[in-house]
Structure 1
Amino acid sequence: MKKTFTVGLLLALAGTTFAQKTYIQCGTLIDTRNEVMNKEMTIVVEKNKVVEVKKGYQKGDANDVVINLKNKYVMPGLIDMHVHIESQTAKDQFQKRIQYSSADVAFESAKYAKITLMAGFTTVRDLGGSNVNISLRGAINRGSAIGPRIFTSGKTIATTGGHGDPSNGLGPNYTFSNEEVMNGVVNSPEEARQAVRQRYQDGADWIKITATGGVLSIAKNGKGPQFQDDELKALIETAKDYGFKVAAHAHGADGMKRALRAGVTTIEHGSFLDDECIALFIEKGAYLVPTIIAGKTASDSAKIPGYYHPFVVKKALETGVMIQEAFARAYKAGVNICFGTDAGVYPHGYNAKEFVYMTEAGMPMMKALKAATITNAKVLDMENELGAIEPGKFADIIAVDADPVKDLTTMMNVGFVMKDGVVYKNQ
């Protein structure tokens, strides 16, 4: 019996194909968790996971793959906590929103997703579009499309006439093709609960609400609060019941305070925050997602005649001035900061320019890189899978030519991109 078992085991081993590993030789490996740079390191990848991180340049066995990044600065794949993968700024964007079918949007989304991945952003959180980005998430996960790992809120939840109401700018004769709540327009605690449950049925990962007016919506007020306390309470309680965290778009201070008191996880933009807002951020442990690049881009676009509706122009010019200053105040005061850009308000692929604006406002580059990796992974509840190059985590790895702490512009030219153990770019 013992002899039979031994022979059987040898035959089984003889027919086994051992898993091929990839050895990535790194000139400098940036550890964003500990904020240090380690010279001459090797990352060992098997399938879609990091299995080892070793000192020195290692090669493995004869059948293993070796990637030479000895002259590169290597770091974890970046995470953008605020994108709109379905659209991109353009003078005729409003017209496209009316004319495009969901199929048109899907094709555009696939293009923007690939651009984003090639820019070094291996994971994104999409905060407001249609169910197209839920489908795109699935297509990327299946390998049917190329793009970053997507966490999506699906449709934004808004109030009638509020930022996120899809009928804004369409006139009084416009009627929804679906029930209002399916489009995310709510006007009571009960409708707020129903909207959250609909997002759960749709397959969303997060809930996104518009706690205040917005810049690009065709409406006069971009600051005022747009949810009542009882609506926020119902919405966030229901979100927690269904396992959701809540992201709140908020420019004005009053709406920001309501959202923070109600228990949102992240505030997007925060353009006109005040000292009381900052105190609430710290008390509640909430995170600010600054999106400085979006504010600056919208302000620049507003100076182009006819680019935006007149309502939008005034708001964009005002917000563009304030958004970086608000971030500076929040960071200096000790508010938790995520890296997020509002991609789509500016052309996709330029996400890394946010690093420039964050450092201009006083955040050291290594801290900004940490926000785009370690911090964002934590907020996504993916700290065991994403955000660092460590054994057991997904092999999301990028590389640039220069030291990003000394040369911020290098982040705009990511030369190597690996996501889930697959190399998508190696220049």
Structure 2
Amino acid sequence: MKFTAILFAGTILTLGASPALADTSYVTADRMLDVESGRYVDAPLITIVDGKIAAVESGGTAPEGAALTDLSGHTILPGLIDMHVHLDGRPEYGGYTGLQFTDRFWTVIGVANADKMLRAGFTTIRNLGDDDYNVAGIDQAIGEGWITGPRIVNAGYALGATGGHCDETYLPPSFNAKSPGVADSAEGLRARVREQRKYGAEVIKVCATGGVFSRNTEPGQQQLREEELRAIAEEAHFWGLKVAAHAHGAAGIKAAIKAGIDSIEHASLIDDEGIRLAKERGAYLSMDIFNTDYTQAEGAKNGVLEDNLRKDREVAQIQRDNFRKAHDAGVSLIFASDAGVMPHETAGGQFAVMVQYGMTPLQAIRAATVNAAEALGQSGEVGVLKPGAWADIIAVDGDPLSDVGELTDVDFVMKGGVAVK
């Protein structure tokens, strides 16, 4: 047999021989933020083997001729994690304006948004609700290498009550429009959990209260009973899935936490008892305190109805103040932008708002790295730069611990050892 030798990544690969040698590369920079210790590592050398980190050392040197990404002049961090995203939507199409497009328009929009989020430094996202299983298809296409995008933990359709926030609330009766995630009993909601898992859900999303961007619902209104929420949590946990509850109102938040739900989304009107329960029971709060600026500035132009703008105005400052209270109380807070309500590519703007409302830059970064990974059940796999984790790396040219706004302008993105920006 004739053998051909190829020099790649500092090793000789012999075609036709086996076993094949590992794909090895290296990354260096001026410094690396260790998000677990909160300290910088000077002159890091990261060794990457088959897309995962094999070693991290300070002051090391890559072998001569190795595949090396030199990020001199930059600080490197783990790829960011956004825990509340809607890939198949854009805020430019508010209210009824989205009805001008065919259904598959939103799948294509989702492809563009996935690329935008990845290039903004978010190498992992949790997609909490989509239509027509758009994001399941996008996730598969990313996995097969046809398109670029982050790692996706996908919920499929959000579960909810008939006429509630996660039902179809904008169309008249003649359309007979109803979300596939809707049910009106504990047993019916258990069946919806199984159905979403059947079609690829990796997390379950449920709407426990009304919301801002629906009709005929108010954010503070509880829309599922505690026993219904408990049935969802029990069924999801039985199948090994975590549960995220959309819950603005204080009563719905407390019912969701008591029911055993893992994370509370928005948590705008949480009260002192809800904060105490979240801390005692280890529920994560996933509070999107940035996007209201976009909604109030651009929403009317984009077609958002005045009733929705009114609800956004009413909860915005209360949510931000409660973010501060929850943080001061020691509740676990995770980064969640609700991208889709505002442009996906601007999600990094939330870091500065988190700092404005009580966090240090390091705490805000941890909310989008190590803490988010823990909430996903992926500690040690994403959100850190250490052996065994995926080589998801971003770089900025400043000091994010002095100015967290650096994370709105990410210069370099690597996912799984492959540079994508």
Q: TM-score, normalised by structure 2?
A: 0.92
Q: Does 1:53 align with 2:56?
A: yes
Q: Could you tell me which amino acid in structure 2 is paired with residue 402 of structure 1?
A: G
Q: Does 1:188 align with 2:207?
A: no
Q: Does 1:212 align with 2:181?
A: no
Q: 1:369 aligns with which of 355, 362, 365?
A: 365
Q: Is the 8 A contact 2:246 2:264 kept in 1?
A: yes
Q: Is the 8 A contact 2:212 2:312 kept in 1?
A: yes
Q: Does 1:26 align with 2:34?
A: no
* Counterpart for residue 403 of structure 1: 399
Q: 2:140 aligns with which of 138, 141, 144?
A: 138
Measure how far apart 1:95 and its partner are.
2.8
How far, CA to CA, are the matches of 1:406 and 1:268 in structure 2? 29
Measure how far apart 1:103 and its partner are.
2.1
Measure how far apart 1:423 and its partner are.
0.5
How far, CA to CA, are the matches of 1:85 and 1:34 in structure 2? 32
Q: 1:355 aligns with which of 351, 358, 365?
A: 351
* Counterpart for residue 9 of structure 2: none
1:113-124 equivalence runs, <5 A = 113-124=114-125
How far, CA to CA, are the matches of 1:405 and 1:55 in structure 2? 20
Measure how far apart 1:306 and its partner are.
7.5
Q: Could you tell me which amino acid in structure 2 is paired with residue 270 of structure 1?
A: A
SS of the residue corresponding to residue 141 of structure 2 reads: helix
* Counterpart for residue 162 of structure 2: 160
CA distance 1:236–1:95, change in 2 (3 Å)? same
Measure how far apart 1:99 and its partner are.
4.3
Q: 2:258 aligns with which of 256, 261, 274?
A: 261
CA distance 1:14–1:204, change in 2 (3 Å)? closer
- Structure 2 alignment gaps of length 5 or more: 1-13
Q: Does 1:275 align with 2:276?
A: no
Q: Could you tell me which amino acid in structure 2 is paired with residue 198 of structure 1?
A: E
How far, CA to CA, are the matches of 1:306 and 1:345 in structure 2? 11
Q: Is the 8 A contact 1:126 1:150 kept in 2?
A: yes
Measure how far apart 1:300 and its partner are.
3.4
Q: Could you tell me which amino acid in structure 2 is paired with residue 56 of structure 1?
A: G
How far, CA to CA, are the matches of 2:121 and 2:302 in structure 1? 33
How far, CA to CA, are the matches of 2:15 and 2:302 in structure 1? 70
Q: Is the 8 A contact 2:219 2:249 kept in 1?
A: yes
Q: Is the 8 A contact 1:385 1:392 kept in 2?
A: yes
* Counterpart for residue 202 of structure 1: 199
How far, CA to CA, are the matches of 1:172 and 1:254 in structure 2? 30
Deviations 1:117-163 (A, max 9, x none): 00000000000112110111111111111100000100011111111
Q: Could you tell me which amino acid in structure 1 is paired with residue 199 of structure 2?
A: D
How far, CA to CA, are the matches of 2:52 and 2:221 in structure 1? 46
SS of the residue corresponding to residue 264 of structure 1 reads: coil
How far, CA to CA, are the matches of 2:85 and 2:70 in structure 1? 32
Q: Could you tell me which amino acid in structure 2 is paired with residue 424 of structure 1?
A: V
Deviations 1:234-287 (A, max 9, x none): 211111111111100111101111111101100011111110100110111100
How far, CA to CA, are the matches of 1:362 and 1:210 in structure 2? 28
Q: Does 1:66 align with 2:31?
A: no
Measure how far apart 1:204 and its partner are.
0.3
How far, CA to CA, are the matches of 2:342 and 2:151 in structure 1? 20
Measure how far apart 1:305 and its partner are.
6.3
How far, CA to CA, are the matches of 2:293 and 2:267 in structure 1? 14
How far, CA to CA, are the matches of 1:271 and 1:299 in structure 2? 17
How far, CA to CA, are the matches of 1:163 and 1:200 in structure 2? 21
Q: Is the 8 A contact 2:159 2:183 kept in 1?
A: yes
Q: What is the number of residues matched between the two proteins? A: 406
SS of the residue corresponding to residue 344 of structure 2 reads: coil
SS of the residue corresponding to residue 356 of structure 1 reads: helix
Of 111-120 and 372-381, more deviation after overlay is shown by 372-381
How far, CA to CA, are the matches of 1:135 and 1:332 in structure 2? 40
Deviations 1:162-192 (A, max 9, x none): 11112x121122214xxx5x61111111211
Q: Could you tell me which amino acid in structure 2 is paired with residue 132 of structure 1?
A: N
CA distance 1:220–1:301, change in 2 (3 Å)? farther
Q: Is the 8 A contact 1:29 1:73 kept in 2?
A: yes
* Counterpart for residue 126 of structure 1: 127
RMSD of aligned Cα (Å): 1.8
CA distance 1:229–1:116, change in 2 (3 Å)? same
* Counterpart for residue 79 of structure 1: 81
* Counterpart for residue 3 of structure 1: none
Q: 2:377 aligns with which of 374, 381, 386?
A: 381
Q: Could you tell me which amino acid in structure 1 is paired with residue 24 of structure 2?
A: K
* Counterpart for residue 311 of structure 1: 307
CA distance 1:48–1:257, change in 2 (3 Å)? same
1:29-40 equivalence runs, <5 A = 29-40=32-43
Q: Could you tell me which amino acid in structure 2 is paired with residue 137 of structure 1?
A: D
Q: Does 1:175 align with 2:172?
A: no
Q: Does 1:41 align with 2:83?
A: no
1:106-117 equivalence runs, <5 A = 106-117=107-118
Deviations 1:299-339 (A, max 9, x none): 3345x467322321210111222221110010001111111
Q: Does 1:242 align with 2:239?
A: yes
Q: 2:323 aligns with which of 324, 327, 333?
A: 327
How far, CA to CA, are the matches of 2:302 and 2:21 in structure 1? 62
Q: Is the 8 A contact 2:219 2:248 kept in 1?
A: yes
How far, CA to CA, are the matches of 2:301 and 2:56 in structure 1? 53
Measure how far apart 1:68 and its partner are.
1.2
- Structure 1 alignment gaps of length 5 or more: 1-11
Q: Is the 8 A contact 2:95 2:305 kept in 1?
A: no
How far, CA to CA, are the matches of 1:305 and 1:22 in structure 2? 48
1:2-17 equivalence runs, <5 A = 15=17
